């Protein structure tokens, strides 16, 4: 037994080591972002987090996927309570340590876990079919290359295998309980009972091997899953919470001003200057991830790659190259590339690449109509438009390389205070008659 305990502690420590390494890397790349103080309105922020991240409120625009997603999510939250028992048993070398303490409530709890395990299993099968057989278009657009598609399938498949392991373990355990008093009574477990006919004719040693194999497989699978999630879009399971909490509470059409520019315009118009500008103005807009606010970087790691934003995007629908999902995926890819270079002792940001041009092209950002449809559609309150606007600001203000038609509009705004070229004095002629 002591060998098993040591092996378990070793597995646990290895997983903890890799998870910590990844968490630090992700944290360090998020810290590359610009300061953005998020203060006040804590009740609203908390409400958003509870309703949207925990309650999945925005998912319910599409009812069937929403219910199935809820099964997986509830399964994830509730079944992981069982992992607590796995951890204690693994460290102390016990078996179902909570069963004698909880008595018949343990049986109820195990049946709830099994119900959720079956719901998760069915939901995952449905999602695999929807992605790979029915080929829902938003999972097959250009940015959904081999890795994002594989990532989604790996997780769904892993969930199915892990849930099967739980049911197998419980079924073998129930047969063992009838043969060996060492096995703590769990009471009747409804769903795994259907598997008992597969096991009841097997020898006790074989059953022991199956039960122990399923136990180890499940816990190693859960720990492996926890490490894998940090590399995957499934990081949203955790980061959706801070992302919804720190998301902007301004109305959707609100675009934040640049204080330096606001002051300049106010002084030109003789309105004085009101906004406080501290320190050097730095770069206008964003060329790379370190020019973006840290909240946009958390958002990039929180993206579920669901494609709801892209399927609502009018630019994308009319065949333009822009996909708001790709904007978020590219931002995360850039962060990951920088993080890996830093971890390998490299230059990080100075690797000769930038978010603009090397990941996101001007053609993409210029296609955006600033309509906010992507922001409205996102189930975890991500704002791809904010990144697009910052990149466009850089192109317009640092490179002066906006499309020629835009430059004449900018000039009209400066001279006529309107996008059209007419004298400011004529502006209200339309009201004369």
Would you list the DSSP string of 350-387?
GSS--IIIIIB-HHHHHT-----HHHHH-TT---HHHH
Round to whole Å and give the CA distance between 341 and 358.
16
Q: Are 388 and 331 in contact (CB under 8 A)?
A: no
421 φ/ψ angles, rounded to the nearest 5 degrees: -90, 90
Name the β-bridge partners of 360.
356
Region of 29-37, 221-229, 250-258, 373-381 interacting with ligand SF4 (CB under 6 A): 373-381
239 is a contact residue toward ligand SF4 (CB under 6 A) = no
Footprint on residues 270-309 left by ligand SF4 (CB under 6 A): 303-309
Instruction: Tell me how far, at minimum, the Cβ of 225 lies from ligand SF4, in Å.
Output: 20
Round to whole Å and give the CA distance between 355 and 347.
15
Complex with ligand SF4: residue 263 or 310, whichever CB lies closer: 310
Region of 53-61, 152-160, 197-205, 370-378 interacting with ligand SF4 (CB under 6 A): 370-378
242 is a contact residue toward ligand SF4 (CB under 6 A) = no
Instruction: Tell me how far, at minimum, the Cβ of 386 lies from ligand SF4, in Å.
Output: 10
**What are all long-range contacts of 427-431, with beta carbons under 8 Å and residues at least 24 apart?**
none
Region of 45-53, 170-178, 223-231, 322-330 interacting with ligand SF4 (CB under 6 A): 322-330
Q: Are 287 and 341 in contact (CB under 8 A)?
A: no
Q: How many CA atoms lie within 13 A of 207 on its CB side?
A: 22
Helix/strand/coil for 378: coil
From 377, 387, 389, 391, residue interacting with ligand SF4 (rule: CB under 6 A): 377
Name the β-bridge partners of 166.
none
Q: Rounded to 5 degrees, what angle do the CA atoms 91, 95, 97 make?
A: 80
From 155, 239, 368, 395, residue interacting with ligand SF4 (rule: CB under 6 A): 368
Complex with ligand SF4: residue 321 or 340, whichever CB lies closer: 321
240 is a contact residue toward ligand SF4 (CB under 6 A) = no
Binding mask 325-354 for ligand SF4 (x = CB under 6 A): x--x--------------------------
Q: Rounded to 5 degrees, what angle do the CA atoms 106, 107, 110 make?
A: 85
From 164, 177, 372, 412, residue interacting with ligand SF4 (rule: CB under 6 A): 372
Footprint on residues 216-235 left by ligand SF4 (CB under 6 A): none
Round to whole Å and give the CA distance between 125 and 104.
32
Instruction: Tell me how far, at minimum, the Cβ of 5 lies from ligand SF4, in Å.
Output: 41
Q: Name the residues that contact ligand SF4, by CB under 6 A.
A: 303-309, 312-315, 322, 324-325, 328, 368-374, 377-378, 380, 382, 384-385
């Amino acid at each position: 037994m002591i060998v098993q305990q040591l092996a378990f502690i070793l597995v646990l420590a290895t997983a903890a080591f890799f998870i910590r390494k990844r968490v630090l890397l992700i944290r360090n790349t998020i810290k590359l972002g610009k300061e953005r103080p998020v203060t006040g309105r804590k009740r609203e922020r908390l409400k958003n987090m509870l309703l949207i991240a925990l309650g999945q409120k925005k998912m319910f625009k599409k009812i069937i996927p929403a219910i199935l997603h809820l099964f997986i999510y509830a399964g994830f939250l509730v079944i992981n309570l069982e992992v607590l028992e796995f951890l204690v048993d693994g460290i102390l070398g016990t078996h179902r340590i909570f069963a004698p303490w909880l008595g018949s409530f343990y049986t109820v709890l195990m049946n709830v876990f099994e119900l959720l395990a079956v719901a998760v299993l069915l939901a995952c099968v449905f999602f695999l079919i929807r992605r790979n057989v029915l080929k829902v278009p938003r999972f097959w657009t250009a940015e959904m290359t081999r890795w994002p598609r594989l990532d989604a399938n790996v997780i769904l498949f892993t969930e199915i295998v892990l849930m099967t392991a739980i049911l197998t373990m419980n079924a073998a355990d129930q047969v063992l309980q009838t043969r060996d008093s060492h096995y703590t009574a769990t009471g009747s477990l409804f769903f795994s009972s259907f598997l008992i006919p597969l096991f009841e004719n097997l020898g006790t040693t074989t059953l022991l091997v199956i039960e122990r194999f399923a136990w180890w497989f499940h816990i190693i699978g859960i720990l492996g899953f926890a490490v894998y999630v940090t590399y995957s879009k499934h990081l949203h399971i955790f980061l959706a919470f801070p992302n919804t909490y720190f998301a902007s509470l301004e109305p959707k059409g609100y675009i934040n001003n640049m204080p330096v520019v606001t002051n300049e315009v106010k002084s030109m118009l003789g309105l004085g200057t009101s906004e406080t500008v501290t320190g050097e103005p730095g770069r206008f807009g964003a060329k790379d991830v370190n020019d973006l606010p840290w909240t946009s970087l958390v958002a990039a790691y929180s993206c579920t790659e669901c494609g709801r934003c892209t399927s609502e995007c009018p630019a994308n629908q009319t065949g333009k190259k822009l996909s708001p999902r790709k904007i978020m995926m590219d931002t995360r890819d850039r962060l990951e590339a920088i993080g890996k270079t830093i971890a390998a002792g490299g230059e990080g940001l100075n690797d000769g690449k930038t978010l603009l041009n090397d990941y996101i092209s001007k053609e993409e950002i210029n296609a955006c109509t600033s309509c906010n449809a992507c922001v409205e559609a996102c189930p975890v309150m991500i704002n791809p438009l904010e990144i697009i606007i910052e990149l466009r600001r850089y192109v317009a203000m640092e490179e002066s390389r906006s499309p020629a038609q835009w430059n004449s509009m900018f000039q009209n705004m400066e001279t006529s205070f309107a996008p059209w070229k007419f004298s400011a004095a004529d502006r209200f002629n339309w009201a004369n008659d």
